[in-house]
Structure 1
Amino acid sequence: MKLCTLIFSLFLVVNVFGQHKHNHYKHRELHHWELPSKDPDRIVLTFNGNPATNRAVTWRTNEQIEKGYAQIALATMDLTFSKNAKQIEAKSRQFDLGLHTSNTPLIVHYHSVTFEDLEPDQYYVYRVGDGNENWSEWIQFKTAKKEYSPTQFVYFGDAQSNVLENWSRVVRTAYQTAPNASFAIHAGNFVDNAHNDNAWAKWFKAAGFIHSRWTTVPVVGSQEFESLYKNSPKQLSMLWKPQFTLPRETGISKRLHETVYSFDYQEVQIIVLNSNQQIEEQTKFLEEKLRSSQAKWNIVTFHHSIFSPTKREHFQLGNEQWQPILQKYNVDLVLNSHTQTYTRGHTPTNQDKELGTVYVTSVSGSEQNKLDTKKVKSFQANGYQLDQSGEQSQLFQVISIAGNTLKYVAYTVFGDEYDRMEITKDFSTNKKVIIESK
């Protein structure tokens, strides 16, 4: 009788704990590529410091891997590089995905390392792991030169919806088209649910190793802001800072850290802004960066379109505060997204009506909108001239800079040219000429 009672009691304990686990995890079954493990995943390379001497890498593991490590070495033609690899302990942080109700409540660890004191214009190989058996493959990148030199990068508009299903072929075609690009600008709206880990898992899986090979330049978009709890204010994705290691600029509030930053790549200055909040504070940051710039080319990127070509909201504050500064300092190229359409146009300089700033709005994902031609025409009052437009097309752009020429080409998902233009610049006078495709 006592034995029966004991068995029955054990059954109740097991059943209760089993029921508790089942009730706690009322979520769909996760795909294997969503689940964290001892092996590093979601490896992403970013800028954090001088691109000629620094690079940052961030990755994820399960809760069993409490410490992470990265190894780096100068690349060699043979396999001897691993003998000279330097090992660096990562900054590791525990993170609870269950902070948002859309996620299965899992504990994960994010790890990050910033490689410093690298040699300019050199190939490096790196890998990340736990310091023992669980390592990534060796991954290769090249540091920037100190001096002005040919530069190529890729720019994507919104990925946002059906990212794994549809954006994947865009980013993979882009890699086939420009495999040696130095970095990739993602102009916001990576996902359609800021805090949802499944959405981010799809973004990482869609590009796979490309995120760890090209240096990623993330630009925060409107979809990266969402309420974490019911009726709470919108806030930056809880996953943004754990998974991207980015510069923390001085002279701006901590709230803007790692969403507002800049870097100079071979005398091309890239300024990244956050068009979702604190516009006035960033206006001062933008003007100071442009006023002090010694770069031969200045490129600014932020999510919302200055010249929005759809019936969606107009970026009024940006138009009032940022556009005059972009014009004043004769910025070469402004890269936006948000509207899920394609437009390229330009404005003249304030002084002599020469070519001023070229503005591009693009989309790489499957969510598409229709152009509002009347609205676009209304921008002519501000001197804006539309040069090319399109809709219902997934696109990516490759920008190549060499000598006194900036070449811009937009491509379709098939890798075919969709739009092309060139800017030639006299560096002594800062005057520019745009050459349109025929």
Structure 2
Amino acid sequence: MKNVNGYTLVVLLLFFSSILCAQELQSSSTPEHLILNLTENPSESVAVTWRTKENTKQSVQWLESTASPLIALQAQAKEAKSNTVIYFDGDNDSLVFTCHSVIIDGLYPNTTYLYRVGSEETWSEWLEYKTAGYENEPFSFIYFGDIQNGMKSQWSRVIRKAFVTAPNTGFMVYAGDLINRANNEKDWQEWFYAGGFIHASIPSIMTPGNHDYDGLELDNHWRNQFTLPENGPDMQILEETAYYVDYQNLRIISVDINADNLDEPTEAVGRTVIWLEKVLKENKKKWTIITLHFPFYSTKANRDNAELRNKFQPLVEKYKVDMVLTGHDHAYGRGMKNIKSMTEEGEISGPVYVVSVSGTKQYSADDKGWMTRKAGNTQFFQVISITDKTLNFKTYMATGELYDEFDLIKRKGKTNKLVDKIPDVPERLYTR
């Protein structure tokens, strides 16, 4: 063995001490993958989910936001429900985590709260969250189409630009294909890395896409890392994938058709149709939006979802759904069943259909008659702002530049009026 001089010894000591400090800062009980989800009643409650590498007792602390640093002394606490799960990474190596969830209830509308999760050994930072407001107060939300690829490297800029564009947004909506490979831990690590504190500050709702399923089985991560409403069809395979949320004067409904085969449908599709009609029929909210992964109308010439329309479009039209938000086609398209159905005064007879994409996997947007605005090879996010009588829809490119805009105006006893506000930006076809 060579003699170690004093300088080398100091370097080695610094190196190993830095490793020990890092291990201490990232202990096995450190909360990670922290995310908020909307509940059925988001003006009075919120769902919190996170995980640890160690099976430890975890809880959440919260209080109304304050400028005082004496936060912990004033906080309420609630113990988490926990379960241990086994995931697999891209190399098929098994990884063990404990997932924790809490629904914080008894909150006040339109109120900012501070919260943190963890244990006496290791807490997360304190984070801010604002509850939904009262019925007719204005609000906004962000909508993302497929992410699927480039989550860490390139989708991260999209969610961060969306946050900068609409920092006071009420919630975020994901229209499926959050990742590329179901049950792949590395994909989910990238997804959570990209969202970071945004996931922990702005609640999300998500509907699964075909890439969030392995065949007809939902990704094992889904129900362990998200805490979504359980008011869907009475079927275990549709729990926390088909549901609805009443957010102020909006009812937003997640429809999941991935657990069945539309060409040869079984019980899941049938129950979903019955459930959806009940949810629409009993709806007393002024605005109604449906989100699902597969589009009613495709942006690609060689794709068509006729069976989806056959099963669900009669309900969408019968109950005057205002808008349908989808993904799957890796392009952008916005329009209606029949553009000619819009009068010169802007009256429309059916919902507005939107297909969007936020990730790096891109297809062309072909020239199909239903689209008023289309684009390919572009990462997008959408900001939807709602008041008592007006829904404003803006589509932004990843750069933050406005690409599409329209208003939907509610009129008593009449159909919606659509006012196009398309900016003077050339249509982006599939070019590099």
User: Is TM > 0.5 for Structure 1 vs Structure 2?
Assistant: yes
The residue aligned with 2:18 is none
1:36 and 1:108 in contact (8 A); partners too: no
The residue aligned with 1:196 is 184
One-letter code of the match for 2:165?
T
CA 1:102 to 1:313, structure 2 compared with 1: closer, same or farther past 3 Å?
A: farther
Q: TM-score, normalised by structure 1?
A: 0.84
Task: Find the partner of 2:257 among 269, 275, 278.
Answer: 275
Task: Find the partner of 1:224 among 207, 212, 230.
Answer: 212
2:146 and 2:176 in contact (8 A); partners too: yes
* Unaligned 5+ runs, structure 1: 1-31, 227-232, 378-384
Asked whether 1:264 is paired with 2:255, we answer no
Q: What is the identity percentage for the equivalent residue pairs of Structure 1 and Structure 2?
A: 35
One-letter code of the match for 1:317?
E
Secondary structure of the structure 2 residue equivalent to 1:423: strand
Task: Find the partner of 1:409 among 391, 394, 400.
Answer: 394
> How far 1:257 moved relative to its partner?
0.6
Distance 2:216 2:256 in 1: 14
One-letter code of the match for 2:334?
R
One-letter code of the match for 2:359?
G
> How far 1:403 moved relative to its partner?
3.2
Task: Find the partner of 1:122 among 85, 107, 111.
Answer: 111
Asked whether 1:179 is paired with 2:170, we answer no
When structure 1 is superposed on structure 2, of 82-91 and 195-204 the one drifting more is: 82-91
Distance 2:127 2:90 in 1: 35
> How far 1:42 moved relative to its partner?
0.4
2:232 and 2:243 in contact (8 A); partners too: no
Distance 2:132 2:159 in 1: 23
The residue aligned with 2:373 is 388
Secondary structure of the structure 1 residue equivalent to 2:416: strand
Distance 1:47 1:312 in 2: 36
The residue aligned with 1:382 is none
Distance 1:162 1:311 in 2: 26
One-letter code of the match for 1:191?
I
Distance 2:283 2:338 in 1: 21
How big is the alpha-carbon RMSD for the aligned residues of Structure 1 and Structure 2? 2.1
> How far 1:101 moved relative to its partner?
7.2
Distance 2:301 2:218 in 1: 25
One-letter code of the match for 2:388?
G
The residue aligned with 1:55 is 46
The residue aligned with 1:358 is 352
CA 1:312 to 1:37, structure 2 compared with 1: closer, same or farther past 3 Å?
A: farther
Deviations 1:273-308 (A, max 9, x none): 102132222111111111111101001000001001
> How far 1:121 moved relative to its partner?
1.5
Secondary structure of the structure 2 residue equivalent to 1:431: coil
The residue aligned with 1:237 is 219
Distance 1:352 1:413 in 2: 30
CA 1:416 to 1:195, structure 2 compared with 1: closer, same or farther past 3 Å?
A: same
> How far 1:222 moved relative to its partner?
0.7
One-letter code of the match for 2:111?
Q
One-letter code of the match for 2:134?
K
Distance 1:205 1:218 in 2: 17
Distance 1:347 1:304 in 2: 15
The residue aligned with 2:123 is 135
2:146 and 2:359 in contact (8 A); partners too: yes
Distance 1:394 1:163 in 2: 12
One-letter code of the match for 1:344?
R
Distance 1:36 1:387 in 2: 52
The residue aligned with 2:102 is 113
One-letter code of the match for 1:302?
L
Q: TM-score, normalised by structure 2?
A: 0.85
1:102 and 1:196 in contact (8 A); partners too: no
Distance 2:234 2:342 in 1: 34
Secondary structure of the structure 1 residue equivalent to 2:192: helix
CA 1:194 to 1:59, structure 2 compared with 1: closer, same or farther past 3 Å?
A: same
Deviations 1:365-401 (A, max 9, x none): 000001232xx23xxxxxxx42111111000000001
Asked whether 1:92 is paired with 2:82, we answer yes
The residue aligned with 1:339 is 329
Distance 1:242 1:122 in 2: 28
Deviations 1:322-373 (A, max 9, x none): 1111111111111000000100002479x99741210000000000001232
> How far 1:37 moved relative to its partner?
3.0
One-letter code of the match for 2:191?
W
The residue aligned with 1:432 is 416
Task: Find the partner of 1:104 among 88, 93, 103.
Answer: 93
When structure 1 is superposed on structure 2, of 150-159 and 311-320 the one drifting more is: 311-320
Distance 2:132 2:371 in 1: 34
> How far 1:77 moved relative to its partner?
3.0
Distance 1:173 1:195 in 2: 28
1:279 and 1:318 in contact (8 A); partners too: no
Distance 1:79 1:248 in 2: 37
CA 1:285 to 1:312, structure 2 compared with 1: closer, same or farther past 3 Å?
A: farther
Asked whether 1:284 is paired with 2:274, we answer yes
> How far 1:36 moved relative to its partner?
8.2
Q: How does 1:361-372 map to 2 (within 5 A)?
A: 361-372=355-366
> How far 1:216 moved relative to its partner?
0.8
One-letter code of the match for 1:274?
D
Asked whether 1:306 is paired with 2:296, we answer yes
2:29 and 2:121 in contact (8 A); partners too: no
When structure 1 is superposed on structure 2, of 102-111 and 196-205 the one drifting more is: 102-111
